Amino acid sequence: MKRKSSITLAVIVSLTTVLSACSGNGGNNESPSASTNTEPSASAPASETTNGSQFPLKEKITLKASAHRPVLAPSDFNEQPLLQELEKNTNVHIEWETTVDNDFIEKRNLLLASGSLPDFFFSGRFSDTELVRYGQEGTLIPLNDLIENHMPNLKSILDNRPDIKASIMAPDGNIYALPHGEEIGSGQEEIGANPDFLYINKDWLDKLKLQIPTTIDEFTTVLQAFKKQDPNGNGKADEIPLTYIDNFWTGDIGVLFGAFGVPDKTHRPNNPTYIDHLNVDNGKVTISAQQEGFKQAVSYLSNWFKEGLVDLDAFTHDYDTYFARGKTEDETIGAMIWWDKNDVVGPERSEHWVIVPPFKDMVVKWNSGGGLGRDGAAITKDNKSPEITAAWLDSFFEPTMSAQTRFGPLGVWFDKDASGKLIQKVVENPGELKQKTAITNGIGLLLSEMEDTVAYVEPRAQDRINDSVKYYVPQMQAEKFPNLFFNPEELEVIDRLKPDISAYINKMRAKWLLSGGVEKEWEEFQATLKKMGVEELLKAHQSGYDRYVAAQK
């Protein structure tokens, strides 16, 4: 009980800071300077609603929201202390309809098709194509004026970071969804530049007197030893030499295609404009599946499946089943591809899991996207109080509020130091705890210039950047396809062609990995890609890429 009270008190203190900034107390109408842009604005007009009132509203209103949530989070966000206090301080009640992350897109699409719209999507996860389509048809309303007049926290950020403002603006000049994310590193050292680390069980290597492999052939030898020599010592043939999740945002075997010179990039669900299978070489946009290295990789790796060196459940894994792979009573996996080893094997085993550095001459993929997205909160045409909604959403763009929303509240995930800065507590199994304590990762911004206010970079995130810089960056691709906003003509081509082309590539890749046959079917595969419009698709991507490059000069 005492712990719960301290958490609630900390939340109240934080929200008092946020909402006093939005209420305009003190009558300070000056815009913050660039040197203080991490503080919430105190501009009174920006928080006023249509009738001139300010938070807390004189009369409570109710808004309906649709949101995705982590698997372990409560289904009703109103159970979260942070949102309970926000309601008290704004007099805005939210009726939440939440869906677990993996099922959210399907649920969202059903809402859109039925015409029964919420007042806003807390995070819509709309693809660029969807933002343009739903924006132009009026389902989602433009947010430009709302940001300018009712969102002082976000306005301050965008005024001082025109790069973020440009990235969220659709080709028609409108903003249809709010930005979100965490800025952790930049360029090749950005935390998501390579989401796939290859880890290996060092205890098994030591027991079998093997070294960390330095080539793909040496890795094959290690996997064969894991399969045949009972490294877990239980007398059973239960070892799984390598596990991964096929065609997932992290953990995909495509990272190993780089050993053949052509890394095969992972996908972002429901976003056909993402870079799946795209590379850039000397300014030319290419699709990995048209390259000789792709064929060589699939041909080579299919032998692993033939020999039983790879987890066949790789094609059906989700978070739960994948994380369970490393936590069996007898340790059964020898190598894995994933974002963070602790998620899969747990902290008690993580010490004997080490990174396998990129193989000699391996090309490490450089993913686009980064930590910031443009598919956050969006307001629908059915919303009768867009100004109040915008002001309420703006609360989440104050740095300490963003941090608690995206990770967990004070007393659980953060403490305050003597200066008032939020600092991270030492927590066990942070990946699992974050799923329970974070409200969503789909709203709020945490930027490098806010680090004097919030120490939001998790220790494990900094460790990951350090490992990436040490091991992966030296062999990383020199060019990447940027996270650009295509124009309507390009989006039409991409939306029409890419889903089917990507699905076909993924299907054939899986078939060849499992059963072989790429050499025999390669020419037919290339002909089918051309018939499906791959050259037109590449032309659209090249057009967008060239425009992006020209704008940087």
What does the H/E/C string look like for 55-69?
CCCCCCEEEEEEEEE
CA neighbor of 350 nearest in space, from 321, 327, 319: 327
Among residues of the chain, what percentage have pLDDT more than 90?
A: 71
- Does residue 517 fall inside a structural domain? yes
- Does residue 433 fall inside a structural domain? yes
Q: Provide the token pair at 176.
A: 């249809």
Q: What is the pLDDT of residue 163?
A: 87
Last residue of a domain, one of 421, 449, 477: 449
Q: What does the mean pLDDT of the chain come to?
A: 88
List, as one string, the DSSP characters of 458-474.
-HHHHHHHHHIIIIIGG
Q: Do both 286 and 227 map to the same domain?
A: yes
Please give the tally of structural domains in the chain. Answer: 2
pLDDT band at 7 (very low <50, low <70, confident <90, very high): very low
Average pLDDT over residues 242-248: 95
Q: What is the pLDDT of residue 370?
A: 67
Q: Do both 360 and 490 map to the same domain?
A: yes
CA neighbor of 176 nearest in space, from 130, 116, 211, 244: 130
| pLDDT tens figures, 507-545 | 999 999 999 999 999 999 999 999 999 999 999 999 999
Q: Do both 84 and 117 map to the same domain?
A: yes
Tell me: pLDDT of 21 over 80: no
When comparing pLDDT for 34 and 124, which is higher?
124
Least confident window among 30-39, 239-248, 504-513: 30-39
Average pLDDT over residues 246-275: 88
Q: Do both 328 and 419 map to the same domain?
A: no
Least confident window among 8-17, 95-104, 215-224: 8-17
Q: What is the pLDDT of residue 275?
A: 83
Q: Do both 348 and 389 map to the same domain?
A: no
Q: Do both 271 and 150 map to the same domain?
A: no
Q: Do both 350 and 443 map to the same domain?
A: no
- Does residue 1 fall inside a structural domain? no
Q: Do both 172 and 208 map to the same domain?
A: no
Q: How far apart are CA 76 and CA 80, in angstroms?
A: 8
Full residue range of the structural domain in which residue 122 is found: 61-186+370-449
Tell me: pLDDT of 29 over 50: no
- Does residue 257 fall inside a structural domain? yes
Tell me: pLDDT of 214 over 80: yes
Rounded to whole angstroms, the maximal C-alpha distance in the chain is 75
Q: Where are the alpha helices (DSSP H) in 357-487?
A: 386-394, 399-406, 430-437, 459-467
What's the first-to-final CA gap in the chain, in angstroms?
A: 59
Name the one residue in this structure whose structure tokens are 């007049």: 149
Q: Do both 343 and 205 map to the same domain?
A: yes
Distances (CA, A) of 203 to 31, 212, 334, 335, 354: 58, 11, 9, 11, 10
Last residue of a domain, one of 422, 449, 476: 449
- Does residue 51 fall inside a structural domain? no
- Does residue 379 fall inside a structural domain? yes
Q: Do both 492 and 444 map to the same domain?
A: no
Q: What is the pLDDT of residue 14?
A: 43
Last residue of a domain, one of 403, 433, 449: 449
pLDDT band at 8 (very low <50, low <70, confident <90, very high): very low
Q: Do both 341 and 232 map to the same domain?
A: yes
pLDDT band at 369 (very low <50, low <70, confident <90, very high): low
Least confident window among 60-69, 425-434, 439-448: 425-434
Q: What is the pLDDT of residue 270?
A: 61
Amino acid residing at 544: G
- Does residue 71 fall inside a structural domain? yes
Average pLDDT over residues 194-206: 97
List, as one string, the DSSP characters of 465-505.
HHHIIIIIGGGB-S---------HHHHHHHHHHHHHHHHHH
- Does residue 386 fall inside a structural domain? yes
Assign residue 167 the CATH number of its domain: 3.40.190.10
Q: Do both 546 and 425 map to the same domain?
A: no
Query: Which positions ≥6 away from 24 have C-beta within 8 Å?
Result: 42, 43, 44, 45, 46, 47, 48, 54
